[in-house]
Each structure stands twice: as structure tokens, then as C-alpha cells.
Amino acid sequence: MPSPGGSILFAADGAIRPEPQRQRADDGQFYLPRPDRPPASSDRSQGKRTVKYWISAWWPVAFGICVIALESTATFGADHTSGPLRWLWEHIFGQVTNRRWDILHHYIRKSGHFVGYGTMGLLWLRAWWMSLPRAGFLLDATLALLGTALVASADEFHQSFLPNRTGVPSDVLLDCCGAIALQLLVYIFLRIFWPKRLPGLT
């Protein structure tokens, strides 16, 4: 066989021979350069992912679930959050009547649902994006939405057993809307400022 980095010689009679030390240019023979190929191990090394990589991808999701589990306890029921939130509101915006505060408190808590689970959806999206780098944004976002819906359903189911909490399907829908809204904002941002990361929706 020819030496590494050498050439393959095609003779006029169809025979294949290694390149000789000296060859005349007008003897009816020509040379096909040997292609340079990278080592076979290089592609494999690029695909390796360490335990540290997987931890960095998924620990924010685990942390977010722990925060939601803590928030899902009786300590964070409406009867416990009303006082501190009203104190903060009145120090910023002034005093309000009890009736008006009941309405404001309701919308503040629902806004917390929307933003909190919207953030949870982004954590899921990041984790799937890192785990499936060749998948499209639509697949990652769908998996993130499913993860968010699962956590939200478990949250509402748990709250249905607490005396000062209520578990309602409408909150799960609100949580999913928050996840969809923030994922849509991320998609628009990437499409405008980082289009190379979004070759396609699928």
C-alpha cells in the first residue's frame, strides 16, 4: 500500500500502483491525491457529554420544581399572603379599601401563577434545548409545555388536599398560558437577534 499522505497511481492499462519515487509527466499516467481524513475519534469526542453538562442542563428545572412545591404549601395560602402583600402595596401606592384589596390580591396571586409558571416553562425549554441540540424549537417548546403542565397539575392536585388552598383546572390553564407566552417571547427574540439558532421550527 502507498505510504500515508502519498498518492494513488492509475496507469494507462487500468492497473493501480503506489506512486513511484520518480515519474515522468508524459508517460500516460496521472495521479489522484489521497484525501486527508480526520481521525475517527474526533467526531466521537465532540459528541461526549459529561455528568457536569447534564447537571447544568437539568438542575434549574429541579430547583424550580422545589420552589413550586414550597409555594404549594398551606403557608403560602391567600390567608397568609394577604397581610404582607397589602402592607407592601399600601407603602408603595397608598391605602385601599378591604373590598378593593380583595380584588387586587386575587389578581396579584394569579399574576404570580402566570409569571412563575412562565419561568418554569423557560427552565424546561432550556433543559430540552441542551438535551436535544439537533431538535427544532417547536419540539423543545412542546416538551417544555408538557413538563410545565405536569408540574402545574401536580401542584393543583396537592393543593386540593389543603384546608386553605384550592386546586382548580383553570389555574393549570393559566400556568400553561404563562409558559406559552414566555416561550413565544424567547422565539421572537431569537428569530430577530440570533436567527442561526433557529434553522427551522421542526
Angle 120-125-130 (CA atoms, 0-180°, nearest 5)?
Answer: 130
Report in angstroms the alpha-carbon separations of 174 from 22, 31, 64, 65, 180.
79, 70, 17, 17, 10
Q: Which pLDDT value is given to residue 37?
A: 45
pLDDT for the residue numbered 198? 74
Q: What is the pTM of this model?
A: 0.74
Contacts of 113 (CB under 8 A, 6+ apart): 171, 174, 175, 178
- Provide the residue ranges of all domains of the chain, joining segments of one domain with +: 7-37, 52-197
What's the CA gap between 189 and 202, in Å, rounded?
A: 18
Per-residue pLDDT of the chain (202 residues; tens, 9 = 90+): 445 555 454 455 555 555 555 544 445 554 444 544 445 443 333 457 899 999 999 999 999 999 999 999 999 999 999 999 999 999 999 999 999 999 999 999 999 999 999 999 999 999 999 999 888 899 999 999 999 999 999 999 999 999 999 999 999 999 999 999 999 999 999 999 988 877 555 4
Question: For residue 103, what pLDDT is reported?
Answer: 97
Contacts 24+ apart (CB under 8 A), 169-176: 171/113, 174/110, 174/113, 174/114, 174/117, 175/113, 175/114, 175/116, 175/117, 175/120, 175/148, 175/149, 176/117, 176/145, 176/148, 176/149, 176/152
Edge to edge, the sheet with strand 16-18 lists 16-18, 7-10, 30-33
